[in-house]
Every structure is written in structure tokens, then in C-alpha cells.
Amino acid sequence: MYGNDQESDICLPCLAQSTPHCNFGETYSTIEGVIRQTTNQPIENMKYYIITEKCRDGDHEYYTDLIVKSDEPQAEWDDNWQDLFMCWQYTIDCKDADGLWSDNRIVSIQSIREITKHEAEVMGKLTSGLFTIKEILEEGKENWGELNNQ
């Protein structure tokens, strides 16, 4: 195997008889490398999360779960991803010491938890769908910019 340059010194019939092993940690096996090279398909490294948001309206609190996927771990998202996420989800009127406000309601991220791909697919069917965090944050940046220009 020579990596990503589409070349290999292992033929597929010989490889099929071999025992798969990992070359680079636990994430990339010889079998996966050949499949990747012969089909030009990247190995999926998606991470899936369930984000629970909280909306406080007077004495009432409401919680909403949203399923998102990302090709990078949460630690690598924008530092202000929570604000951007809320700007995507709600029309934010202002931000103060209490947090983000939307139509006299305070909104925030209650929790985020990593889930499996299977859980994400099932929950995505039962809720509002499966969203890509990168797209959410890009749209949130547009709304955040509008909020800061007011």
C-alpha cells in the first residue's frame, strides 16, 4: 500500500485471503484502504450528536432535541458554537448577562451528547431530521452578524 496515491502492491484476491489488520492506529485497516483506493470513497469518520436546547418562557421551560452530524469532533467546532447554533434555531433579539433572548424567552443549549450512527438515523426519522453542524454554524454566523450590526 502506498496511501492515497491510488497505487498498491497488494492485489484484491490476495488481500481477500489475508487477515485484516490495522496500519494506522485503530481507524484505518488494509481492507478499508483498498476499498478507499479502488472506489475513491473516503472512509466515513462522522460523529453524531444529540443537542438538547432549553427555552425558558416565564415560569415554563421547554426542551427540544436535535440530531447533528459532524466530520470533526465537538472540541474543534467554533468557540462560540452554542451562540451560533441558537442564532440558527431562533431569531435572537439580544444577548446579555443572562444569555440569548428570543421574543422575550431565554434560549440556551442544555446539553450535548455523542451518539452512534444508528441512534442518529433512528432518532432523525422520529424527530425533525439529521442536520450537519457545519451548515448550521455557517447559517448561524450570518444571523449572528445581523444581530451584532443592530
Q: How far apart are CA 33 and CA 5, in angstroms?
A: 11
| Report field, pTM of the whole predicted structure over 0.95 | no
Q: What residues contact residue 126 under an 8 Å CB cut-off, 6+ apart?
A: none
Over the stretch 43-92, which tens digit does the pLDDT of each residue have? 568 999 999 999 998 889 999 999 999 998 888 998 889 999 999 999 88
What would the grid cell of residue 103 be? 421574543
pLDDT at 58: 86
Per domain, the residue ranges of the chain are 1-43, 47-148
pLDDT in tens, 8-49: 555 555 545 554 444 444 444 555 555 555 555 555 689 999
DSSP string, 8-42: -SS-HHHHHHSPP-BSSTTS-BHHHHHHHHHHT-P
